[in-house]
Amino acid sequence: MSLIVKIGKKGKRIVKKVLQPAEKHNVSYTRRIERIKTDRRICAMTFDDGPMDLPSSPDRFGGKSLTDVLLDTLAEFGAKGTFDVVGDTSENYPDKAGKVGSAAWGGVKYDHYPDIHQDDKGGAEHNDRLIRRILAEGHQITNHGYRHIIFGKKPFVYGARVYLGSLDKAVEDLQKLDRLMRDRYGYQITLHRPPHYVDKMQDGFTSYDVCDKMGYQYMAASFDGAGWLPSTLSDPDAALEAEVNAMVEPVRKALEKDPDFFCGQIIFQKDGYNMGKRTPVAFGLRKQLELLKEYGYQVVTVDTLLAESSFADLGRDDPLFEKLNKLQQERAVVYSDNCLRLDAVMTCGELAMLLAPKEEALGRRWAAVRRSGKHEDAYWGAMDWCAEQGLLPRGTKSDAPVTALPEGLFAPVSDFTRRSIYGAYKNQ
């Protein structure tokens, strides 16, 4: 791992722990999906930044494209991948390459996939054959941005990067790839991963608003497959060996410690060069899949994982599972980290999100953000609608605990926990 990456990761941990307050999770239509709760040995793998129509580096596969190598490997193990593709980075100029081994290796101002000045070898726009193969073999495709431009500022690692900065620009970018997949392949995308996980934008909106606009869920990951990290060893063969080991050994150790460790997890992978312009994933993926197979795991798409359970903390054995699984398709009942926290006391803001129609909850809040240019309380739109309908008193604090429920909408409850209230809700 390069020094700058080590420093960046350590700095990020320090900032999160010391300088930033603990992240507050709100009930949200869009949830950041990192894993789901299941006892079954199933997991997913996501492959970012492809497809890539250049050989692996080093090329030990007779000139096959990296994406073909990954697809061949997945097929050999009966595994299904989730390919988080880009559209086309050829508009991301003027630009110049950064230092190999750094985060800017492929471009100082923009990302370029698979590499700077080779944009025509990457992305869905240029790789009809690879996209058709991905779909024909039963894999999933998700939206990683048409041009893969970060949504907002990320000063520490990507301080020189151009960013989109607004909800409208981010939605426009995602729509371009969404339309390409629908018009050319009849394929509807359902999941999105923001470039470099940059969520906040300068106009007061976030990537969660972008997903709400697009009708997507936010796809993250719970385990880093490590194929993007560069070794600092000067010998190319030794560096590749170290990078492959960095992919394989954490998987081995995790399984030896807990054979059920990967149940329901999403493993991050790379469909492209790492920062050292090598492709350890071409060699390490097989070894990871061998380990997972040895422990009885099936690698499935993220959609298949979500069909097992939509939640990170509630499985199919819970008596409320079926009701909440249906309810979450129309109402906001899950926190933004994909947890339900059913034992917590429900707040008035959470109650408002249960009661308000989606278009009212989102539309009113979005209008308020556009007026102020600042981030508004996540429950503002739903609270405003509920007050207008007489379901909650005007002026109620969104974080106030629920102490009474609107008449006619709920069966009697013994307490005001989220479990009791969702269980008592008379959803039509």
DSSP string, 309-340: -S-SS--TTSTTHHHHHHHTTTS--SBTTS--
Phi, psi of 129 (to 5 degrees): -60, -45
In sequence order, the 6+-apart residues with CB closer than 8 A to the CB of 285 are 70, 73, 74, 227, 247, 269
Rounded Cα–Cα distance for residues 70 and 45 (Å):
11
Domains of the chain, each with CATH number or no CATH: 24-306 (3.20.20.370), 343-428 (no CATH)
Give the tokens for residue 5: 């990456």
Candidates 261, 256, 194, 190; CA nearest to 223 is 261
83 sits in which H/E element = strand 82-85
Beta bridge partners of 421: none
State whether the Cα torsion 10-11-16-18 is positive or negative: positive
Rounded Cα–Cα distance for residues 48 and 268 (Å):
8
Q: Considering the entire predicted model, what is its pTM? A: 0.94
Rounded Cα–Cα distance for residues 88 and 286 (Å):
28
pLDDT at 22: 62
Q: Are 329 and 401 in contact (CB under 8 A)?
A: no
Q: Are 159 and 131 in contact (CB under 8 A)?
A: no
DSSP string, 65-77: BHHHHHHHHHHHT
The 3-state DSSP class for residue 398 equals coil
Rounded Cα–Cα distance for residues 358 and 336 (Å):
15
Number of helices followed by number of strands (H, E) in the chain: 14, 9
Rounded Cα–Cα distance for residues 81 and 281 (Å):
13
Beta bridge partners of 44: 266, 300
* CA distances to 84, 196, 288 from 154, in Å: 21, 9, 32
Series of mean pLDDT values for 10-residue runs along the chain (428 residues)? 44 46 84 98 99 98 99 99 99 97 95 98 99 99 99 91 98 99 99 98 98 98 94 95 98 99 99 97 99 99 98 97 96 98 98 98 98 93 98 97 96 98 90
pLDDT at 427: 78
DSSP E strands in 27-66: the ranges are 32-33, 42-48
pLDDT at 24: 81
Beta bridge partners of 82: 46, 140
Q: Are 262 and 303 in contact (CB under 8 A)?
A: no
Give the side-chain half-sphere CA count within 13 A for 36: 25
Alpha carbon 175 to chain centroid distance? 17
270 sits in which H/E element = strand 266-270
